[in-house]
Homo-oligomer: A and B are copies of this chain.
Amino acid sequence: MSDNLNFVKKLRISGLRPTKQRIKICEILFGGKDTFHFSINELSKIISQKTNEKISLATIYNTVHAFLSKGYIKQIAVNSEQNYYDTNTTDHHHFYDEDKNQLIDIHDNEVEPVKINRKIPGKKIKSIEVLVKVQNN
């Protein structure tokens, strides 16, 4: 709960007013020990489980987008069914479990750096993402 002060700071620093809703979403996203992956749908369910008051879907979308543009979370492209987000904003790759519909972090020591021996004229690389799809044996 003293985390809340940090969240307020975090929001203020990036020019976002520390509202009740945003602080609650901060608690859920950044208050745990571990980072995690979520869809808007999943986040919405977590919120309604852990909270008495309801946060409207529009606010959840707005907040996730705000956090995304501030770099507090990352977006992960898996498929077009649903957007996935990641509270781990470091550069890292993923397994995607097609049976559980679940993202799993691949740590840097678990994968060789990807080397691209080609440049696109006039373009700079913004990100390199590896997605390893896995399924049951």
**Known: A111-B117, A112-B112, A112-B114. Is A133-B126 also a contact (CB below 8 A)?**
yes
A88 to chain B, nearest CB (A): 16
Closest B residue by C-beta to A110: B118
The contact size tier of chain A is 35 or more
- Of listed A75, A123, A124, residue having the most chain B CB within 10 A: A123
Query: Does A5 interact with chain B (Cβ within 8 Å)?
Result: no
- A48: chain B residues at CB < 8 Å are none
> B104–A110 contact, CB under 8 A?
no
A residues near B (Cβ < 8 Å) are 75, 77-83, 95, 97-98, 104, 106, 109-112, 114-118, 120, 122-137
